[in-house]
Amino acid sequence: MIESAGREPYIVDFRPGDFRTSFNQTMGIKEPDPNHPTQIDRVGQRLDFIMNAAPDPGLAARALVGALRRRRHAVVRTGSFFQAKLAPLFSRLVPENWLRAVSRRYFGIR
């Protein structure tokens, strides 16, 4: 191809986490009945909280542009510190059943 003549191709594995965008408001999470919250209500509230606390999408854009400018293979994880750093490390070090238990706790699933 003319546009890549003389250059080796490189791959950027871009793994964005959660970001605070207008898409989050379209999820349709309804207000729960305060007297009788269901498990789905609790998960929806937790997800809403996570999305509202998520970083600005500009963080993802800057990380991707930076990786592309380096012109070499890369894995780019973006998002909160938990999603970009701790969760990937945790998922490599602990057994699968622990991951499920932590996920259930994180989202308020009983």
Phi, psi of 27 (to 5 degrees): -70, -20
How does residue 64 score in pLDDT terms, banded at 50, 70 and 90?
Answer: very high
- Sign, CA dihedral 7-8-9-14, equals negative
Q: Report the predicted TM-score, pTM, of the whole model to 2 decimal places.
A: 0.65
Supply the pLDDT for residue 69. Answer: 92
R_g of the chain, CA atoms, integer Å: 19
Supply the pLDDT for residue 4. Answer: 64
Distance CA 92, CA 97 (A): 13
HSE-up (13 A, CA, CB side) for residue 49: 9
In this predicted structure, the answer to whether residue 27 has a pLDDT above a threshold of 70 is no
